[in-house]
Structure 1
Amino acid sequence: MNILNDRQPVPIYSLEPDEATANKQFKVYQYEGDLPNQAELLIPHRKDHYLFVFIRRAGTRQWIDMTPYVLQDNTIYFSAPGDLIVKEEFRQLWSTGIAFTKEFLAVQENAALSKLPIIQNPHRGHELRLSMVDIDFVEDMLGKIATEYRRPNEWQQRMLTAYLTVLLTYLSRLYTEQFDNKPLSTDKLLLTSYQAKIDEHFRALHQVSEYASLLNVSAGYLSEVVKAQSGKSAMTHIHERLVLEARRLLFHTQQPLKEIAFDLGFSDASYFNRFFKRETGITPAEYRASIREMYQ
């Protein structure tokens, strides 16, 4: 697996519109065996958009946030802006993918989509297993989306939103069945919103009170609900998100520890070093050396 050297920032790839549609916020991908030469995907990278791919047939492996996935037939794989991704190789692939940006979700008629579990992804999953019934449904919806995508007209945006709403709602039901079959209560929704805010602001905001202000609740109430719903303190969620991002960069890049510390909002590298060791039991340098050795 390739890693980035200490002079390479993690590249962020934008959604490239098709020439035929010129849609900069939504795109449909279809591969029937052959793949374009995309060598840039063989190095660790991020995307600035959401990506859902239905794999019909494959066999290669990719990494999403340090977790290796051998791509399985008839399976959904999904990622969000900020996830760190790297493919190990290119092989023939039979798949259909849909990609859309945060701006697409920000449009008023799409706003409800951003609250779906498959979008918020509280369990940080990236693989969704499908039954035969699920496969038929997903194939049908992707076919409708692909057909509408190829026919630009004044109704296209509304039709894409309608079909995508049905598809993502269906996948959200599968997501909750696979990862968590409990319905979301008001307190659970607050926990999910808290986790989403951490994802947005963890580099700059390191205090529970700062997130409480964003969520328009008191820090005491937020701490109480988060602890009751997750079994972990509100501060632990912030620390775990910082550790996740630190591990991403330590694993996939050669970025110096000082730069990683500053990127994560720490005032100096020694403070970051103590924080990481307190949270994981080893120093950042020790983690980098051990994880690299494990996957040689």
Structure 2
Amino acid sequence: MTFDTIAAFERKINHDKHIYDPGLQLLPGRMEERHQYVDPKLGIPALRRNFNLIYLLLDGLHDIRLDDKHRWLMPHDLVIVPANVLYASTNIRGCKGFCIEFTTAFLEPVMQGTLSEQFPFFDLEAEHVISLTANESNLVQRSFENILEVHSGHSREKMQLLRDYIHILLLLIRDCYKARYTVYIKEKATRAVQLTSAYKHLVDEHFREMHEVQQYASLLNITPKHLSDVVKSTTGKSPHEMIHSRLLQEARVLLSNTEMSMAEIAYTLHFEDQSHFSHFMKRKTGQTPLEIRKSF
């Protein structure tokens, strides 16, 4: 399940009855308000967003699953969910804190380079949960409060102020992140790791419709062999393995969280037909799609 817009996500998942502009690029808020209509027994099903999410938990029961990693959150945990990362939460009760959703395009006027280049916690392989100290949490809370105040106001410079305040929030988070993950930041600086990171971002964005390494190599302006050599040297996996892993992960989500037919899932994931999809799943898991669905 993928949500292209903030408005669609708020309406479907958070059951927000407000009427939002479909082109909405930014939405800050408080967790207690956003989650007030979320069924605590169901939580948030596995999904992807085509926009970014950041939230700071101050109180309450909350777990998260990012891709295949599950963990329980504690007070003062800061969570960064980059666009297109698979996210789910099956336990949400009495949560308090701050949150903000924004598109990458909204910040482009104040950015110099890509989001993950400037702020490494948006990289797909980065650690996406930061346990803040009390002082760090207070700084981040004040930053969220500033964003909320400007967002609810009527300043003539509202959009620019919001971009600047979000930029400040990201700088605060980067400062906290650097204090904990300097080794990852240094490793990310190598050309091979940068190329692999760019490939992973493209796969997350296009894996449904692009299944061949050649297609990604063309987007990166390199040969398929060079891409294969670099990705293999930095991850130990081939580019094809990474594409197939994403397809498999998405197929499991659709089989377990939707009532889509096998033919519909095959079409969504751009397999030639249902037979090819079933063969792919059987080869990768040892089970047919129907057997996988019945196991959930």
TM-score normalized by structure 2?
A: 0.78
Report what 1:141 is aligned to. 143
Secondary structure, aligned partner of 1:91: strand
1:191 aligns with 2:196: yes
1:24 aligns with 2:28: no
Q: 2:85–2:204: 8 Å Cα contact kept in structure 1?
A: no
Q: 1:42–1:89: 8 Å Cα contact kept in structure 2?
A: yes
Q: What stretches of structure 2 of length at least 5 have no aligned partner? A: 11-15
Q: Which runs of 4+ in 1 moved over 6 A?
A: none
CA distance in 2, matches of 1:75, 1:222: 36
Secondary structure, aligned partner of 1:194: helix
TM-score normalized by structure 1?
A: 0.78
Deviation digits for residues 18-38 of structure 1 (CA, Å, limit 9, x no counterpart): 98x989211210245895334
Task: Give matches, 1:13-162, under 5 Å.
Answer: 14-16=5-7, 24-31=24-31, 35-38=35-38, 42=43, 44=45, 46-61=48-63, 65=67, 68-83=70-85, 85=87, 87-88=89-90, 91-105=93-107, 107-110=108-111, 112=113, 114-115=115-116, 116-123=119-126, 126-162=128-164
**Is the alpha carbon distance of 1:195 and 1:89 closer, same or farther for their aligned partners in structure 2, counting shifts above 3 Å?**
closer
Aligned partner (choices 232, 235, 238) of residue 240 of structure 2: 235
Aligned partner (choices 251, 254, 277) of residue 249 of structure 1: 254
Q: 2:38–2:44: 8 Å Cα contact kept in structure 1?
A: no
Q: 1:60–1:71: 8 Å Cα contact kept in structure 2?
A: yes
**Is the alpha carbon distance of 1:130 and 1:282 closer, same or farther for their aligned partners in structure 2, counting shifts above 3 Å?**
farther
- How many Å apart are 1:195 and its aligned residue? 0.6
- How many Å apart are 1:153 and its aligned residue? 2.3
CA distance in 1, matches of 2:175, 2:233: 24
- Letter aligned with residue 120 of structure 2: P
- How many Å apart are 1:210 and its aligned residue? 0.8
Deviation digits for residues 201-233 of structure 1 (CA, Å, limit 9, x no counterpart): 111111111101101111111111111111111
Aligned partner (choices 262, 269, 290) of residue 285 of structure 1: 290
**Is the alpha carbon distance of 1:76 and 1:84 closer, same or farther for their aligned partners in structure 2, counting shifts above 3 Å?**
same
- How many Å apart are 1:188 and its aligned residue? 0.8
Report what 1:270 is aligned to. 275
Q: 1:204–1:264: 8 Å Cα contact kept in structure 2?
A: yes
Deviation digits for residues 96-118 of structure 1 (CA, Å, limit 9, x no counterpart): 1111124314x432464523333
Could you say which structure has the greater relative contact order, defined with CA pairs below 8 angstroms and 6 or more residues apart?
Answer: 1
Q: 1:113–1:119: 8 Å Cα contact kept in structure 2?
A: no
CA distance in 2, matches of 1:284, 1:175: 40
**Is the alpha carbon distance of 1:252 and 1:64 closer, same or farther for their aligned partners in structure 2, counting shifts above 3 Å?**
farther
Secondary structure, aligned partner of 1:58: strand
CA distance in 2, matches of 1:202, 1:179: 30
- Letter aligned with residue 134 of structure 2: M
- How many Å apart are 1:262 and its aligned residue? 1.6
**Is the alpha carbon distance of 1:137 and 1:280 closer, same or farther for their aligned partners in structure 2, counting shifts above 3 Å?**
farther
Q: 2:80–2:122: 8 Å Cα contact kept in structure 1?
A: no
**Is the alpha carbon distance of 1:92 and 1:261 closer, same or farther for their aligned partners in structure 2, counting shifts above 3 Å?**
same
- Letter aligned with residue 74 of structure 2: Q
Q: How many residues align?
A: 279
Q: What stretches of structure 1 of length at least 5 have no aligned partner? A: 1-9
CA distance in 2, matches of 1:241, 1:255: 18
Root mean square deviation, CA, Å: 3.4
Secondary structure, aligned partner of 2:97: strand
CA distance in 2, matches of 1:238, 1:178: 27
Report what 1:7 is aligned to. none
CA distance in 2, matches of 1:13, 1:222: 29
**Is the alpha carbon distance of 1:91 and 1:182 closer, same or farther for their aligned partners in structure 2, counting shifts above 3 Å?**
closer
Secondary structure, aligned partner of 1:135: helix
Report what 1:3 is aligned to. none
